[in-house]
Amino acid sequence: MKLTKNFSKNFSKSEFECRCGCEMPDDVLENVKKLAEQLQIIRDYVQEPIIINSAYRCLRHNKMIGSNDRSQHPKGKAADIVILGFTPDETASVIENMLTNETLPSFYIGGLGRYNTFTHVDIRSNTDARWDNRSKL
């Protein structure tokens, strides 16, 4: 399979790769492309750069960093993001609002998690996966 370097006008394959340097499986690559499409919709909507802290993680790397077995990262369906100029809470709120925007019919985020330093987004099929893992500082 020929690998594409750019998934969209603002996201490249390298931004989604596992930090351990392993090869991304083809089925995961297809999920990552779908995730990149959704992130591009967010990017176009907010008109600000999105930094991907973590996206695809192989099972070994996912376990090594202490993530749980239900993680969408090993499936290539999740990314932990920061939008420049937005707090993680503002990012999550904007995404929630986008999900109800009728002018964005192809926009889809299944999981949305709030953390102190990033926002987790994923494209799982369960549209009600919401959580708040912010610690009180």
pLDDT at 6: 82
pLDDT in tens, 53-103: 999 999 999 988 888 778 999 999 999 999 999 999 999 999 999 999 999
What are the extents of the domains in the chain? 13-132
pLDDT for position 14: 94
Give the DSSP per-residue string, the chain.
-PPPSBSSSS-BGGGGS-TT-PPPPHHHHHHHHHHHHHHHHHHHHHTS-EEEEE----HHHHHHTT--TT-SGGGT-EEEEEETTS-HHHHHHHHHHHHT-TT-TT---SEEEE-SS-EEEE--S-TTEEEE-PPP-
Q: Quote the pLDDT of residue 137.
A: 63
- pLDDT tens digits for 4-24? 468 889 999 999 999 999 999
- Enter the pTM of the model: 0.91
| Domain 13-132 coded CATH 3.30.1380.10 | yes
